[in-house]
Amino acid sequence: MRKLLFILLGLIIYASCATEPIDHSIPFTDQAIFQDAIYIKVPLFTYTDRYTNRSYTFHGTSGDQIHNDEDFYNHTTVIPYDFFDIVSNRPSFIWEKTQSKYVMVAVFNERVAINNEKNQIANKHSIVWAWNTGMSTGQEGAIGYHDGCNVIDDEIQYGITPEPLEYGHTYMLAIWAWNQKANEVKYSSREIPFVVEEPEK
């Protein structure tokens, strides 16, 4: 059953993507990347890198001004560029559980682009690392970098230890989940930028 879920998630994730250009002029905001989706919050948390034993703080969406659905749909807060967290090259991620069977966590090397007409990720080629609930490690709501896999040429590298993210680069974290029929995105985080620290000299 788990193997079937594993295969199904892979098909859902990549069959639902299309390649389109990104508009880099769009500001970072506290709006979910998928329109009308239930907002996934990423709370403030601190993790210890298992390779360096150093601690890092990830603010997630804790600085957002969203308090309820009415606020969410009636205003937008622009996230300042100096709010980006500096993390290790193998970060951990925590988010509020959705209770969905089909959850995707992805790290992009560019801004996240959405085809709103089709309610789909429009730039799957920009995903460099991913985790989903069909994988045998990690759990919904809390994962380490080692729980996921690199993505190369739109293909998740299952069964291969992921290579770390690049030092000094800015990445985007996005989390989304489908409904129980796996035919529509029901939950979504906003686009969460972060920067990988420079190596020690």
Question: What confidence tens digit (pLDDT) does each residue in 26-43 have?
Answer: 567 778 999 889 999 999
Closest among 29, 114, 23 to 73, alpha carbons compared: 29
Q: Is the pLDDT of residue 182 over 50?
A: yes
Among 20-34, 41-55, 110-124, 176-190, the least confident range: 20-34
Q: Is the pLDDT of residue 147 over 70?
A: yes
Give residue 116's pLDDT band: very low, low, confident or very high (50, 70, 90): confident
Q: Are strands 155-156 and 120-121 parallel, antiparallel or unpaired?
A: unpaired
Give residue 138's pLDDT band: very low, low, confident or very high (50, 70, 90): very high
Phi, psi for 35 (deg, rounded to 5)? -60, 140
CB of 167 within 8 A of CB of 198?
A: yes
Give residue 23's pLDDT band: very low, low, confident or very high (50, 70, 90): very low
Q: Is the pLDDT of residue 153 over 80?
A: yes
Above pLDDT 70, what percent of the chain? Answer: 76
Give the CA-trace dihedral at 196, 131, 72, 56, to 10 degrees. -30
Question: What confidence tens digit (pLDDT) does each residue in 42-87 have?
Answer: 999 999 999 899 999 998 887 665 434 444 444 455 555 456 889 9
pLDDT of residue 29: 74
CB of 97 within 8 A of CB of 84?
A: no
pLDDT of residue 119: 83
- What are the boundaries of each domain within the chain? 2-196
Question: What confidence tens digit (pLDDT) does each residue in 5-15 have?
Answer: 444 455 444 44
